[in-house]
Structure 1
């Protein structure tokens, strides 16, 4: 851009990034205003900080209560978009990790003497696997009691060494149920999806892992973000291994993937509003525009793009007036990842998240062209996203009225989740006569009736209260 350009001036004085060739002098103010308007809309649609925090708090407390009801060898941790506070109650699956307690997987060279004697210890063998994967091929120490889910997945290699087989582990875990009225769906790798009515869960069993060398390498990187206190907190949270090998690996049935679910939840919670909105919008692009059929690209791909953007750029530059600048940067990173079939994993950069993604040349070319078109369209690109387009085309007053009711409905449902678990016995039976639960359900019914009345006044013929309730939480 030419010297004296207003975007350059703003960059120098306000920390707003320059983007050579994207913004002309004529369009800078227009793009800033459009960014501000989109941030307001994203807040209206349920992505603002207060509702995100309410969701995170509810699922964290729900996990605590459930683990207190049934203490023992399995602990439950909500992860993914629900733990990040980024999806409504019935919107997308609830990713749940079930951790087998009393088991610890250690990096080579890490002393196990400080662990309780009753802990069963496995050693990670990462040298024979792709980056970010490992075999649990040395049963270093047997604890006092080994859960059946572990015993039934043990096997031996050609040298007689004891291994924990990831494929057998998933088979054993798949025989377990997750709750009453559960409907099981087709297994997808380590994941065992299930549903109960409109509520869908994606369940993965895992083991705790202690890998200080890997986490130290991550913590010691030069970065703009996250701040030192968050880095220290993520390191203390440790990691997990999940039963899935690299697709196409000859020994994928023996391999486990190292992951950092709780640490990543903390990282996502520390993003600012603009960074969160970029993440949400990029996820919409993948889901509603690219529409991958075989998970060639996932929301996890997008998450890593946003984490790299946050780490590599000054935080002051991520403000509401620069949303479209950063959205275009995110699209460019996504396009590059597709074009080169390469995207480093944020926690372990040596692992390529696009490896074995199964993307063929024809699909790659189509997606690259689509993303390029969106980058050129700038703010108009978001009209391709159904949820954004409907909100933009809606009249402001009805939209604000409905979203106020929808947010109240979701907050009530989150309270219902927590209170339901507070009133649950060891058999997972809920005391339906609890006065607080009764008050919550009563207000939910009032809200649904109120929404139905307005819908009917405006010409809708939908009268099913349950259907309206479920639609409000999607």
Structure 2
């Protein structure tokens, strides 16, 4: 028994060390979290007269995704629009658009929004064009119509081109980096006792900050209906993204590594079997497991214990074909996602992983290569890790510069010139180019030459960095 525990602890520490060097150490996670918080703050200041406020979500905001590792997710909240099921408690004003939340005949986690007042100035035309009037004269806003009516100028990003819309998202890309943008409404709803109980269970085992969790105001209505509903064009999904982000940020670093490992496994093993096995499902798995497993999972020597609990929980959910949403347990996240054949195959994969014991960490090829490198060439691997982390930090500095100079009304040409003239941006970009072998820092170059270097190396620059940081 002691030998078994020792083996599991040793493999846990090995996995933890490998993931640190892969770019998931505490320093890099905090650096990413702080950068994306800063980017949101700068963006909202620069666009204070715009119709929306921006909030970064997903792996980037959680700090657990390297720069090119996944898409950037932005949640845009329309100003002066409020949704609530208790409209009498809202302090009405002349610049407020008010919707009543109705969920009597909708699936769990979905609502309809009935218009009560339409006085807000933000996206007023888009909202008006998306209204549907029923036979009783009541007006509801259509989620599908609203998504179609969103103008690209509402959430403009220089250097990015629009892609085909997918559900509530309006994605853009610059060829190397994609940004998924969702426009939402702020909701004020009664405290759900299931949510409070789940959060209480999680805080019992973790140091969760009460003030960071918030209450009703951390709910958004996003424009997408349930695909199985007859009225899906009128339904909106309740999103607890902001509250979920605060919970993930308060997980222990050991639990975060389990979450990262689950995301890597989902991408490389689960998704080829079932495309619906997303990172969001893995987030719910780690939140449920962390709220229930109160062994000392803050220690890196217990990572495999937590991982085993997660995989067992996921397998049980597949057996019952029911993965409850952590924020809204009545909502089944597997509904309509996992077919019978896919379900059986996923159960088989999870059974094999669990039966393999500590060797389960080798199921993910990216982690397997990292562990092999850590054992065979530890100094070289660590040196490369420091090199890669330094470059990613400089890229995040460039992101801050771009956000600072990205003001509404600036053309793409003006924006490019502002970037090249900015001293911090220019020197940081040249340092990165020198680091990846695209620029000789010893050469004396005039300002015009520097501009040419930055433009001529753009393609190769993105190619090399995307290979390194994805």
Counterpart check, 1:389 vs 2:371: no
> What's the counterpart of residue 29 of structure 1?
6
> What's the counterpart of residue 457 of structure 1?
none
> What's the counterpart of residue 97 of structure 1?
75
Q: Distance in 2 between matches of 1:228 and 1:33?
A: 26
The structure 1 residue matched to 2:382, chosen from 400, 407, 411, is: 400
Q: Distance in 1 between matches of 2:47 and 2:273?
A: 38
| 1:154–1:165 contact (8 Å) kept in structure 2 | yes
Cα distance change, pair 162–409 in 1 and its aligned pair in 2 (3 A): same
User: How much has 1:414 moved relative to structure 2?
Assistant: 0.6
SS in 1 for 2:18: helix
Bigger proportion of residues as helix: 2
The structure 1 residue matched to 2:99, chosen from 104, 109, 122, is: 122
Q: Distance in 2 between matches of 1:113 and 1:92?
A: 39
> What's the counterpart of residue 112 of structure 2?
135
> What's the counterpart of residue 456 of structure 2?
none
Cα distance change, pair 218–390 in 1 and its aligned pair in 2 (3 A): same
Q: 1:145-164 alignment to 2 at 5 Å?
A: 145=121, 147-164=124-141
Deviations 1:154-192 (A, max 9, x none): 111232200011010111126556323323333221122
Counterpart check, 1:49 vs 2:29: no
> What's the counterpart of residue 435 of structure 2?
447
| 2:296–2:302 contact (8 Å) kept in structure 1 | no
The structure 2 residue matched to 1:436, chosen from 387, 402, 424, is: 424
Cα distance change, pair 144–246 in 1 and its aligned pair in 2 (3 A): closer
TM-score (norm 1): 0.87
Q: Distance in 2 between matches of 1:124 and 1:420?
A: 38
SS in 2 for 1:212: coil
| 1:211–1:238 contact (8 Å) kept in structure 2 | no
Q: Distance in 2 between matches of 1:367 and 1:210?
A: 38
Deviations 1:21-50 (A, max 9, x none): xxx443210110110111111111111121
| 2:82–2:97 contact (8 Å) kept in structure 1 | yes
Deviations 1:73-124 (A, max 9, x none): 12211101111001111111001112111100002x3534425431111010
| 2:273–2:346 contact (8 Å) kept in structure 1 | no
| 2:430–2:439 contact (8 Å) kept in structure 1 | no
| 1:449–1:465 contact (8 Å) kept in structure 2 | no
Cα distance change, pair 249–234 in 1 and its aligned pair in 2 (3 A): same
Q: 1:334-345 alignment to 2 at 5 Å?
A: 334-345=314-325
| 1:149–1:173 contact (8 Å) kept in structure 2 | yes
| 1:207–1:241 contact (8 Å) kept in structure 2 | yes
User: How much has 1:306 moved relative to structure 2?
Assistant: 0.7
> What's the counterpart of residue 466 of structure 2?
470
User: How much has 1:421 moved relative to structure 2?
Assistant: 1.8
Q: Distance in 2 between matches of 1:276 and 1:294?
A: 24
Q: 1:199-210 alignment to 2 at 5 Å?
A: 199-210=177-188
Cα distance change, pair 43–116 in 1 and its aligned pair in 2 (3 A): farther
> What's the counterpart of residue 296 of structure 2?
316
Cα distance change, pair 295–110 in 1 and its aligned pair in 2 (3 A): farther
Q: Distance in 2 between matches of 1:97 and 1:424?
A: 18
Counterpart check, 1:192 vs 2:170: yes
Q: Distance in 1 between matches of 2:368 and 2:208?
A: 39
Deviations 1:415-469 (A, max 9, x none): 11112222333334251211111221121112112999xxxxxxxxxx9554223
Deviations 1:122-142 (A, max 9, x none): 010011101111000x21222
- Taking only aligned residues, the RMSD between alpha carbons, in angstroms, comes to 2.3
| 1:66–1:76 contact (8 Å) kept in structure 2 | yes
